[in-house]
A and B are shown apart, each in its own frame.
Chain A
Amino acid sequence: MDIRLDRISHSYDGIEVLNDITLDVPQGHIVCIVGPSGCGKSTLLRFIGGLEKPTSGRVVQVGDPPKDSLNPLTYIFQDFALLPWRSVEGNISLVLEDHGIRGNDARSIIDDVLTRTKLTDFAKALPKQLSGGMKQRVAIARALAVRPAVMLMDEPLSALDSQTRELLMDDLVSLWTRAPFTAVYVTHNLAEAVRLGHSIVVLSRRPGKIREIVHLETPLPDRQYGDAELEQKQKHLWSLMREEARAADTELLHV
């Protein structure tokens, strides 16, 4: 299943935030969206999953999601969004219960996703006992449990320290290598974009427009920390964004 954004524009209270965004997300690819703060990249992600409505334009699903997908468009949030009163497995079973999956069926799905995210030993732990990186792995496990067709990742690593971020990037790469998933990955961190993106969409500052789409050919598992070619791409991206970021930083907020 592919996702196509068809001429999406959006304004809040008369201020235009996004302008004429047209973009294809092909199956099995990770598309990163980068841009200065306030360029509407998280808003764009909320459109894709149907959590918000654009002023004009539409988001199109091309083809059918796999039959076994419980929640084709599944988010991973920056703040993890785990229920603090439910244990790790309780948080995962939350998203299965509404699909009528309980008992042994739920057990086997939970065990499978916990194994894939290396969380088996923490099934009974409460979120308050976990570090930020572990919490995000629980959120990833929860997303995997509903077998999404497209993962919508909203700055998933931005709340983590830089070492945890490296570790989780490795985890995401190995998850993708074992079972390639489709994802839209919003971030302001260019290092994450060049590590995880098959293509990187650079948005301009408000109103957000597509400035450039950078394609990366190196297969995900071959991209190493500090790789020269990736550094080169990252420098290029930064040269595109530098002035925009500076201008965005000095803008007054209209909130």
Chain B
Amino acid sequence: MSDPATKETAPKSPEQTIHYRGGGFAPQPRRWVGLVVFIVLILIAEWGTRSGWISSLTLPRPSDVLKTFQELHQSGQLYNHLTPSLTRLAVGSFLGATAGIGVGILIGLFSYIRAGLVPLVAAIFPIPKIALLPLFVIWFGIDEGSKYALIAFGTFTPTVVATYGAVDNVDRSLIRMGQSFGLSWLSIVRKIILPGAMPGILSGLRISLAIAIILLVAAEMLGAEYGIGAYVLQAGSLYDLERLFVGVLMLSVLGIVVSTLIGLIERRLLVWRN
């Protein structure tokens, strides 16, 4: 090692600040940015249709879409379409999600049920459920029954897959802890496996409910007098772009509402997560 005396006389080495090269790869919440993107796109569309470089056949004017929506609201027609759609969505997805969570938990818990049902679920999953609508019409009638069944069936499979995956992922050491304290089988399922699987079940539900909305519209397009799907279909066949976009707008809002609701449930139920 050099002593201080030689250090002073030695030629000074060049100094350089070390460049920062860490950071990034960690998404941060940036509120309002999403809203700004929406507003900018709508403003561009409005400006383009007004100044004429977007023809009215290409895209309806956003303000006209809004006006059509207001008319729909004032005439009361809005609720004639919205109420049946929301009912179908609620009933169908409730049936499908409940059955899906139940079956998923059974698959997660019992080897025989897993061996028997996992291949079946894998076989059902890729079937486009809308192709089965004629069959459902025969089984459950042309009325609401077939629509409930279609939505329920479509929500069921993704929920099952997400649920048994979530049960499989519950920390085994917690289950072993439960056994070591002499907890009953039912207590272990109720107090350890179910809450432990909840994050996976909820994120599966997010996907299932989006699928439910798609199926809702498809079912209403094929056979319904009222409903968002029927409304969109009518507008499309008349080439009424304003009304078509009103329908599309309702679907987007529905999607946002559903995803926000699940977000709220997650925040309430999963405070314990990091």
Contacts and interface: CB of A to CB of B under 8 A. Distances in A.
Interface in A42-86: 49, 51, 70-71, 73-75, 77, 79, 81, 83-86
B182 A81 contact: no
Contact of A83 (B180, B191, B270, B271): B191
A83 B181 contact: no
B183 A98 contact: yes
B235 interface: no
Given A77-B173, A83-B174, A95 B272 contact: no
A97 interface: yes
A126 B270 CA distance: 12
A97 B174 CA distance: 16
Given A77-B177, A83-B174, A128 B183 contact: no
Interface in B87-114: none
Given A77-B173, A81-B174, A71 B181 contact: yes
A75 B272 contact: no
Nearest to A99: B182
A85 B195 CA distance: 7
Q: Is the interface of A mostly helix, strand, loop or mixed?
A: loop
Nearest to B272: A85
A51 B181 contact: no
A132 B245 CA distance: 55
B184 interface: yes
Contact of B180 (A51, A84, A127): A51
Contacts of B191: 83, 94, 97
Contact of A81 (B173, B271, B273, B274): B173
Interface string B183-199: 11001000110011000
Nearest to B182: A71
A95 B183 contact: yes
Given A74-B181, A98-B184, A126-B271, A83 B192 contact: yes
A138 B215 CA distance: 49
B272 A126 contact: yes
Contacts of A71: 180-182
Nearest to A52: B176
B177 A128 contact: no
A146 interface: yes
B182 A98 contact: yes
B173 A51 contact: no
Contacts of B271: 126
> Which of B181, B183, B184, B187 has the largest number of chain A CB atoms within 10 A?
B181
Interface string A76-117: 010101011110000000110110000000000000000000
Nearest to A73: B180
B77 interface: no
A74 B180 contact: yes
Given A98-B182, A98-B187, A84 B272 contact: yes
A95 B174 contact: no
A146 B196 CA distance: 24
A86 B173 CA distance: 16
A71 B178 CA distance: 12
A79 B271 CA distance: 21
Interface in A142-172: 142, 146
A128 B272 CA distance: 7
Contacts of A94: 181, 183, 191
A127 B183 CA distance: 21
A222 to B, nearest CB: 33
> Which of A49, A74, A84, A146 has the largest number of chain B CB atoms within 10 A?
A84
B179 interface: yes
Interface string B235-255: 000000000000000000000
B200 to A, nearest CB: 14
Contacts of B192: 83
B205 to A, nearest CB: 18
Contacts of A49: 180
B180 A75 contact: yes
Contacts of A126: 271-272
Q: Which 5 A-B pairs have the closest CB atoms?
A: A81-B177, A85-B272, A95-B181, A75-B180, A84-B272
24 contacts: A51-B176, A51-B179, A51-B180, A70-B182, A71-B180, A74-B181, A77-B176, A79-B173, A81-B173, A81-B174, A83-B174, A83-B191, A83-B195, A84-B273, A85-B195, A85-B196, A85-B270, A94-B181, A95-B183, A97-B191, A98-B184, A126-B272, A128-B274, A146-B181
Interface of B: 173-174, 176-177, 179-184, 187, 191-192, 195-196, 270-274
Given A51-B179, A126-B272, 10 more contacts: A77-B173, A77-B176, A79-B173, A81-B174, A83-B192, A85-B195, A85-B196, A95-B181, A98-B183, A128-B273
